[in-house]
A = this chain, B = another copy of it.
């Protein structure tokens, strides 16, 4: 059996070496191509390329043919982070200055736009895929990005209103996080010429569930360890309606509710660390962190359950199970 750790180490090197080779070396516009490299190589778990590789191997495909698509997905993921950081006012990403902080807001927007075009151009230009595969992969990618932006639009609406239901929240993070993980997996299967609809459906569902599980775990980490964004409770300052917030608001007294909303709605630079702590204390009092952990585990179980539709009980399926288990346990 392959160890998840060695698989990841090996594949992270593979995709990073490949991606490094894509960008021009010296250009007259360092605020464009060098900035893209900064955005991409400042860190990252490379979860999406790894999912593409696993899905490709699970269906008996050659991993080298999966490389261009995996790179495209990873670049697009990083593009969304570049724009998200501006939209959310986040100044730190992976313990380093966010792209827009390092290069300026104007460049930040343009760098993200460039990454999106650069990624699609690579898919169109690469020699690994047939024209039919290119169209299939592109449709998958573009339907996915559109859904991500729809999710982001929903998120912005939610931040501007006081009450969000758990169902609304789950739909939003599925769009923001789940669909891209599904696309990473489905692309890998398409490249391996997987034709079994049950396998495709299983991979899609798995991504749809681990995406939100990943996000909820991330939101819990933000309250305990911080997300490498310089401080604990960043999401509270940002006014984010996370599952923790939604659960807390559904349980606390109306006075507490008013106070929590007051703190969340404050401009982020006016929210004090004491106020952040106040909200965290209430979350502890009402077991909202425990509730989020429970939901996270439920989603993980659903993801693993979806894999039952994959007959090939091979080592790659086991890697997907291990990844799901890892997501709900990770501390940073």
The residues of A with any CB-CB pair to B shorter than 8 Å are 28-29, 31-32, 83, 86-88, 104-107, 109-114, 116-118, 120-121, 124-125, 131-132, 134-135, 138-139, 142-143, 145-146, 149-150, 152-154, 156-157
With contact pairs A132-B131, A157-B29, A157-B31 given, residues A142 and B114 touching in the complex (Cβ less than 8 Å): no
Instruction: Decide if B131 touches A146 in the complex (CB within 8 Å).
Output: no
Instruction: Decide if B32 touches A150 in the complex (CB within 8 Å).
Output: yes
Interface residues of A, dominant DSSP: helix
Instruction: Decide if B114 touches A150 in the complex (CB within 8 Å).
Output: yes
Nearest residue in B to A123 (C-beta to C-beta)? Answer: B142
Instruction: Decide if A31 touches B114 in the complex (CB within 8 Å).
Output: no
On chain B, the residues within 8 Å of A86 by CB distance are: 105-106, 109
On chain B, the residues within 8 Å of A125 by CB distance are: 139
Instruction: Decide if B117 touches A145 in the complex (CB within 8 Å).
Output: yes
Q: Which of B112, B138, B150 contacts A138 (CB 8 A)?
A: B138
A194: min CB distance to chain B, Å: 20
On chain B, the residues within 8 Å of A154 by CB distance are: 28-29
Nearest residue in B to A140 (C-beta to C-beta)? Answer: B124
A103: min CB distance to chain B, Å: 9
Instruction: Decide if B157 touches A143 in the complex (CB within 8 Å).
Output: no
